[in-house]
Structure 1
Amino acid sequence: MKKPQPLAPDDAQLFRDAFGDVRPLAQDKITLAPPRSKKKASVKTSENQTSVSLFYFSDQYEGYSFDGGTVAFVQAGDDPHLAKNLKRGDYQPAVVLDLHGLSQQDAKVELAGLLDYCQREHFNCACVVHGKGSGLLARKVPNWLIQHPNVRAFHTAPTHWGRDGALLVLLKTPD
């Protein structure tokens, strides 16, 4: 970038004559109130929506019998090929929820929060890592997902997303 040309002496004198009497305004010491934060309201709304999502999960409901193998489910009325598409990795999860080390109640709350978050952010696919084996969460997570009305389908995740220890979940997005 080129350096600016210095002002001619006549131009500098003309500027000083024109603005020589200018003084800064005195500060009136009025402080403006900071703008209200809408963050608190959104957190409250988010908590309410999470509790609504949590309402769908019953521990007594056994809609899916876990045999330790591949887990697949497609909501009635949806395209039966959705599970196959999830298995092939046609859908990439926007978020991953790791439930390792959580109690059943904590995992349920986190899963409800994930489904709520995906709904708000218009994400249609998520990965839920429940852990390998036939542990409690591996049996409960599919049953919880079946009960939620926004879950269209889920399938055992492809290898690069956790295989037997994770599920890819396909969700309805608001129109």
Structure 2
Amino acid sequence: MAIQLHLGDITELNVDAIVNAANPTLLGGGGVDGAIHRAAGPELKAFCRTLGGCATGQAKHSPGFALPARWVIHTVGPIWQGGDQNEARQLAHCYQNSLVLAEEIGANSIAFPCISTGIYGYPADRAARIALDVMQAWTARMQLTVCCFRESDLSHYRARLADGRRAGQ
């Protein structure tokens, strides 16, 4: 299966699991994190209180509550510090650990936002490369979607996928 690209609101996608680009508390915040918490309802925050937070690069899951998605996989991306503080490895771990967790809970379809590219400042072109490099290994195992809220983010994913097709990947 190919990786699907979608421009829009991740909270509206009808997939088994959506990924939340969360902060370490898992209790909601801005951007996609706030949108997911608002759409899921107050039960999500109450449930997340029981999870004890989450370290950068790790992933934890919760029910989707009022979302169309059955599950929310929460992962904490790295804050961009110039690229020499293991940010790339940490971001790759976000995707890899989310995919492993999705498989463990039986999710056959998963949608990712652009992790760390908002307030955490990760350069969108670099983040897209890392995300797609990790996701490529999973295309035979589950349906994968990247959901971008901004057209500018989507363009980085389109370009990277086009480069991969030209290179015969």
TM-score class, shorter-chain normalisation, is 0.3 to 0.5
TM-score (ref. length: structure 1):
0.36
Structure showing the higher strand proportion among its residues = 2
User: Is the radius of gyration larger for structure 1 or structure 2?
Assistant: 1
Which protein, 1 or 2, shows the higher relative CO under an 8 Å CA cutoff with sep ≥ 6? 2
TM-score relative to the length of structure 2: 0.37
